[in-house]
Amino acid sequence: MSTPHKNIINEGARLRQVLKDKGIKVIDFAARAGFSNQIAHYYLRKESIKRAKLVEFCEFINISLDDFYSWRQQPATDEPEETHHGKRLSTLIDQKGINKTKLAKRAGLSRRALYNLLEREVLTSEQLRKILPALEMTAGEFFSPKGSLYDGGASYNQPEAWREKYYRSLEDYKSLTQEIATLRQENERLRATIESMGRSPDK
185 within a domain of the structure (yes/no): no
Is residue 95 a part of any domain in this protein?
yes
Are 126 and 114 in contact by the 8 Å Cβ rule? The answer is: no
| Mean pLDDT within 154-165 | 48
Is residue 161 included in any domain, yes or no?
A: no
Q: What is the DSSP letter of 84?
A: -
pLDDT tens, 36-86? 888 888 898 888 898 888 888 888 888 888 888 888 765 544 444 546 888
Give yes or no: residues 91 and 138 share one domain.
yes
How many other C-beta atoms are found inside a 10 Å radius of the C-beta of residue 4? 9
> What is the pLDDT at residue 157?
43
CB 28 within 8 A of CB 83: yes
Beta strand ranges found along 88-149 (DSSP E): none
Residue 27, domain CATH: 1.10.260.40
Q: How many domains does the chain have?
A: 2
Of 143, 162, 178, the position where a domain reaches its end is 143
In a domain, 27, yes or no: yes
| 72 close to 20: Cβ distance less than 8 angstroms | no
* Contacts for 26 with CB less than 8 Å, ≥ 6 apart: 19, 37, 40, 41, 44
Comparing 67 with 96, the larger pLDDT belongs to 67
| pLDDT given for residue 99 in this prediction | 85
In a domain, 45, yes or no: yes
Q: Is the pLDDT of residue 148 over 70?
A: no
Q: Which of 20-24, 89-93, 158-162 has the lowest mean pLDDT?
A: 158-162
The one-letter code for the residue type at 179 is E
What is the percent of the chain where pLDDT is above 90? 0
- 64 with 21, same domain? yes
Residue 9 is classified by DSSP as S
CA distances from 192 to 99, 118, 199 (A): 46, 49, 11
Q: Does 148 reside within a domain?
A: no
Domain housing 51 = 11-69
- pLDDT score at 169: 64
DSSP H helical segments within the chain, as ranges? Answer: 11-21, 26-33, 37-45, 51-60, 65-69, 85-96, 100-106, 111-119, 125-135, 139-143, 158-198
In this prediction, residue 199 carries a pLDDT of 64
Residues 91 and 137 in one domain: yes
Spell out the residues 6+ positions from residue 87 whose beta carbon is closer than 8 angstroms to its own: 118
Across 157-184, average pLDDT: 65
